[in-house]
Structure 1
Amino acid sequence: MRGSFDEVVDRVRDWLTDDGPVPDVVIETSGSSGTPKRVRLTRTALLASVGASAARLGASGPWVLALPPTYVAGLQVVARSLVAGHRPTLLERDGWPDGEGWFVSLVPTQLTRMLESPDDLAALRRAHTVLLGGGPIGAALRERAAGAGVSVVATYGSAETAGGCVYDGMPLDGVALAIGVDGRIRIAGPTLFTEYDGQPDLTRDVLVDGWFRTSDAGRLDHDGRLVVIGRVDDVIVSGGLNVPGPAVAERLRAHAGVEEAEVLGVPDAEWGNRVVAFVVPAPAMVSRLVAGAPHSSTTAELRDWVAAAHPRAWAPRQWVVLDAIPLLPNGKPDRQALRALAARDETGNEGAAS
């Protein structure tokens, strides 16, 4: 789905309403951890997702597009709005709608920044629902949004599931969840993709007996609510220990002096992988947190903050201070760019955890 916004909307409308058979739509994954995959989705799968989403939200209506329509989250915004009888609004061009009761889909970084903008915040308060997905969603961000009067529903899904198929931990109608013996989240139901374009071996590896084997680890609570632990490859093996990067990042985001944070593993000759924190400090901390200061009082404070909730060995060994987290076009953190930044800034390596 490439072209101008209006061209994409018109093509999606024709694809959804054509009376005859239509070809699959091909959506690329973000490629945040490697080469993007081309995911084939049927119209039936996309419409099943649109219908299940509206049923869970208890309403449908106009949508605001704040994500590229070339990715599944953006395509879903266009499709949901058209199915509800409304042409979507392009935020970048047209701004926020004046009325109330509309919908928007965001990624966590977008919501974090919009909560800091009085104009954006005023608009989000008028939305019926803000769907939030595309990455780890910390409890602190949910609490901030709720406290500001913004109605947020956390979603989990991927291009392979036609977008979000789990809302606030519970699967949409028709979607089945399971956890494999390897700890991977498995998903079944009418929203699944048909294949990876040109990659039959990979398709057979992840589509097994009607179930999609995701790349994410998770668990199901006693009430069947999904808890996403993080990507399987987000577990950093450092010095023989398994460190879940998303859990460390979420803890850092809860610190009053941190606006944004990501945590990744970077190859290290001594540790195998070292735990690296990429931090956007809050204004009050900017002058205190200096990149490359190995044992500054502030990095020590942040390490202690992590250690107060998790094993001390999980505390990052390297700190990269940024003005903003680099993002992919779909709003997700650019993990490859972050690792490149860490490799260029190895002076921040703090050595063994204390």
Structure 2
Amino acid sequence: MTAIVQTPPGGVTPVSKRVMNLANFLHQAARRHGKEIGFVWGDTGLTWAELDRRVNAMAAALAAGGIKKGDRVLVQSKNCNQMFESMFACFHVGAVWVPTNFRQTPAEVAYLAQSSGASALICHCDFPEHVAVVREAAPDIRFVISIGASEFGQDYDALVAQHSAETVPMAGVQHDDPCWFFFTSGTTGRPKAAILTHGQMAFVVTNHLCDLMPGTTHEDASLVVAPLSHGAGVHQLAQVARGVKTVLLSGDRFDIDEAWALVEKWRITNLFTVPTIVKMLTEHPAVDTHDHSSLRYVIYAGAPMYREDQKHALKKLGKVLVQYFGLGEVTGNITVLPPALHEPEDGLGVRVGTCGYERTGMQISIQDETGRELATGETGEICVCGPAVFAGYYDNPEANAKAFRDGWFRTGDLGHMDEEGYLYITGRASDMYISGGSNVYPREIEEKILTHEAVAEVAILGVPDRTWGEVGVAVCVLRPQANLSERELLAWMDGKVARYKLPKRVFFWNALPKSAYGKITKKDIRAELEVRGCLPLDHPTQIPA
């Protein structure tokens, strides 16, 4: 008797879907461009063939240490070739790469080790305290590899030499197999591990090359000015896919003069960074003393770029700016604003304040608190779906339940779309405050303050107030040699924004606290205001006249 197979609805029988292991990007580059320089760090220059051999050897070392498919490998390191290689070595054996922000404290890194269930640790020799605390907090860690000579682990380069003659097969992977735990910044609560997968990241790499850097080839070169543990690592993965040379700064300190010297020396064509770093790069005298004509794409993300900073950067660099909006959970793939849409002057047809249109293969929905899609021009939560959305948070069902609604990933950002599908971010839902019953979005007021010639940076926070419920407090950084008082700034703003949006108080600091990735961190500003005795505002207030 012949068995009858029931066809499921839709007529398609689900099958497991094998995809390319992402480590193959490096192997492909080595096959095609083996003799060309693939990586530069100070005096170290490695060809693609040398990188491939080193990664294969480290993969063999991991396998010899018992690391297998699905195991998590924590990496605590500054930017260096070994950290770069560790990503591909983990991918090769099917392990999950778990990079940290190297500026985190030992206790913070120990939490990441514990929460990720790490089995091994690759740690730069400068962080022995981290190793001690991690070992105590995460007993599942079986062995430690040290980048550079140390007493706490096996030397990375010695292991590469020891296993240089060995090969281990590249692990076969399915679309949803994890490859990277991308820890959120933890701006609210403790960091969460966003699970990035081999299939998802293959789409992300393709999308980056399609939407951010069209025409990229092995003749290009990319400068790294941010830690490889987060967005810069995603960006460099896309470079490897096209055989693009990666160039690191020589140290872990951000040296602007060195950055521009490297742009000139290596004919850098693209770099990824955040708006504050673009601002620093283009306001430094070195931008005028080094040739940067090779640049085609200066990609910025992580936060919106204020319009005045955009204008200045465009005047210095020309139309090379590329903005993208995205979160770690969507690996940047939400919108793009390409160079052609970055205009150096305001005028008819210039969309001031937009972060661009939907990335290829991605869809945005502006929703209210119930999940109802809002009309064009209405402000609500920015929700997104598409192949770049992560697989969920590791071992955190509560966070997953909050993050997804009816298949849409909820970004937590507020914004609206215009008739042509351009997105405008109003701010984080947590940044908005209500003053006298009216919603106030700090970014709008920050943009206006930055048009004052004396102000270099600003952040506005909503704080409790007995009269109005909440009012704004502005913290400004002035340009060198500039002078400006609170009363003068508030008087200058009068008439430029509605009165209920005016900050109640303005404070002037020498600098604003920033994350390791160059983002202004408002939670740290709030904490510092409290430490300085500026908060709470103690008495009933009046909106300044």
The offset of 1:237, in angstroms, is: 1.9
The offset of 1:194, in angstroms, is: 0.5
Question: How far apart in 2 are the matches of 1:124 and 1:234?
Answer: 37
Counterpart AA for 2:87: V
Question: How far apart in 2 are the matches of 1:317 and 1:333?
Answer: 21
Question: How far apart in 2 are the matches of 1:102 and 1:268?
Answer: 50
The offset of 1:278, in angstroms, is: 1.1
Question: In the TM superposition, what whole-angstrom CA distance separates every residue of 1:318-343 from its partner, at most 9, and x where no partner exists?
Answer: 22211111111111112222002222
Alignment partner of 2:395 out of 183, 189, 198: 198
- Residue 175 of structure 1: aligned partner: 362
Q: State how many pairs are aligned.
A: 343
The offset of 1:267, in angstroms, is: 3.4
Aligned 1:148-297 pairs, distance under 5 A = 148-150=316-318, 151-168=320-337, 169-182=356-369, 183-285=380-482, 288-289=483-484
> For residues 325 and 124 of structure 1, do their structure 2 counterparts lie closer, same or farther at Cα, with a shift above 3 Å needed?
farther
Helix, strand or coil for the counterpart of 1:346?
coil
User: 2:207 matched to 1:52?
Assistant: yes
Question: How far apart in 2 are the matches of 1:347 and 1:25?
Answer: 40
Question: How far apart in 1 are the matches of 2:91 and 2:244?
Answer: 14
User: 2:30 matched to 1:30?
Assistant: no
Question: How far apart in 2 are the matches of 1:342 and 1:124?
Answer: 40
- Residue 300 of structure 2: aligned partner: 132
The offset of 1:219, in angstroms, is: 0.9
Question: How far apart in 2 are the matches of 1:128 and 1:51?
Answer: 18
Is contact 1:49–1:165 with CA below 8 Å preserved after alignment?
no
Counterpart AA for 2:229: T
Question: How far apart in 1 are the matches of 2:542 and 2:293?
Answer: 46
Question: How far apart in 1 are the matches of 2:465 and 2:250?
Answer: 41
Is contact 2:457–2:478 with CA below 8 Å preserved after alignment?
yes
Is contact 1:258–1:282 with CA below 8 Å preserved after alignment?
yes
Question: In the TM superposition, what whole-angstrom CA distance separates every residue of 1:292-337 from its partner, at most 9, and x where no partner exists?
Answer: xxxxxx3233224434332122111122211111111111112222
Counterpart AA for 2:542: A
Question: How far apart in 1 are the matches of 2:327 and 2:310?
Answer: 21
The offset of 1:15, in angstroms, is: 5.1
Question: In the TM superposition, what whole-angstrom CA distance separates every residue of 1:174-212 from its partner, at most 9, and x where no partner exists?
Answer: 111111134111111111100111211221222233321
Is contact 2:223–2:268 with CA below 8 Å preserved after alignment?
no
- Residue 63 of structure 1: aligned partner: 222
Question: How far apart in 2 are the matches of 1:335 and 1:76?
Answer: 25
> For residues 269 and 318 of structure 1, do their structure 2 counterparts lie closer, same or farther at Cα, with a shift above 3 Å needed?
same
Is contact 2:334–2:364 with CA below 8 Å preserved after alignment?
no
User: 2:246 matched to 1:88?
Assistant: yes
Helix, strand or coil for the counterpart of 1:275?
strand
- Residue 280 of structure 2: aligned partner: 113
Question: How far apart in 1 are the matches of 2:317 and 2:518?
Answer: 23
Q: Give the fraction of aligned pairs with identical amino acids, expressed as a percent.
A: 25
Q: Which moved more, 1:264-273 or 1:62-71?
A: 264-273
- Residue 495 of structure 2: aligned partner: 308
Alignment partner of 2:235 out of 77, 93, 96: 77
Helix, strand or coil for the counterpart of 1:113?
helix
> For residues 154 and 227 of structure 1, do their structure 2 counterparts lie closer, same or farther at Cα, with a shift above 3 Å needed?
same
The offset of 1:123, in angstroms, is: 5.9
> For residues 225 and 252 of structure 1, do their structure 2 counterparts lie closer, same or farther at Cα, with a shift above 3 Å needed?
same
- Residue 352 of structure 1: aligned partner: 542
- Residue 292 of structure 1: aligned partner: none
- Residue 2 of structure 1: aligned partner: 76
Q: Which moved more, 1:79-88 or 1:333-342?
A: 79-88
5+ unaligned residues in a row in structure 2: which ranges?
1-74, 93-169, 252-257, 338-355, 370-379
Is contact 1:2–1:70 with CA below 8 Å preserved after alignment?
no
Q: Which moved more, 1:264-273 or 1:99-108?
A: 264-273
Question: How far apart in 1 are the matches of 2:360 and 2:535?
Answer: 51
Question: How far apart in 2 are the matches of 1:205 and 1:310?
Answer: 35
Is contact 1:102–1:126 with CA below 8 Å preserved after alignment?
yes
Q: Which moved more, 1:302-311 or 1:217-226?
A: 302-311
Counterpart AA for 2:227: P
Is contact 1:230–1:244 with CA below 8 Å preserved after alignment?
yes
Helix, strand or coil for the counterpart of 2:334?
strand
Question: In the TM superposition, what whole-angstrom CA distance separates every residue of 1:101-138 from its partner, at most 9, and x where no partner exists?
Answer: 52111111111111111224646553211111111211
Question: In the TM superposition, what whole-angstrom CA distance separates every residue of 1:67-111 from its partner, at most 9, and x where no partner exists?
Answer: 11222x122122122212135222353742324352111111111
Question: In the TM superposition, what whole-angstrom CA distance separates every residue of 1:263-310 from its partner, at most 9, and x where no partner exists?
Answer: 11233455433311110112242xx33xxxxxxxx3233224434332
TM-score by length of 1: 0.88
Is contact 2:486–2:507 with CA below 8 Å preserved after alignment?
no
Question: How far apart in 1 are the matches of 2:536 and 2:284?
Answer: 32
Point out which structure has higher relative CO (alpha carbons under 8 A, 6+ apart). 1
Counterpart AA for 1:335: K
Helix, strand or coil for the counterpart of 1:131?
strand
Question: How far apart in 2 are the matches of 1:330 and 1:30?
Answer: 10
Is contact 1:220–1:227 with CA below 8 Å preserved after alignment?
yes
Helix, strand or coil for the counterpart of 1:67?
coil
Is contact 2:326–2:334 with CA below 8 Å preserved after alignment?
yes
> For residues 32 and 162 of structure 1, do their structure 2 counterparts lie closer, same or farther at Cα, with a shift above 3 Å needed?
same
The offset of 1:37, in angstroms, is: 1.9
Counterpart AA for 1:272: G
Question: How far apart in 2 are the matches of 1:188 and 1:134?
Answer: 19
Q: Aligned Cα RMSD in Å?
A: 2.4
Is contact 2:182–2:194 with CA below 8 Å preserved after alignment?
yes
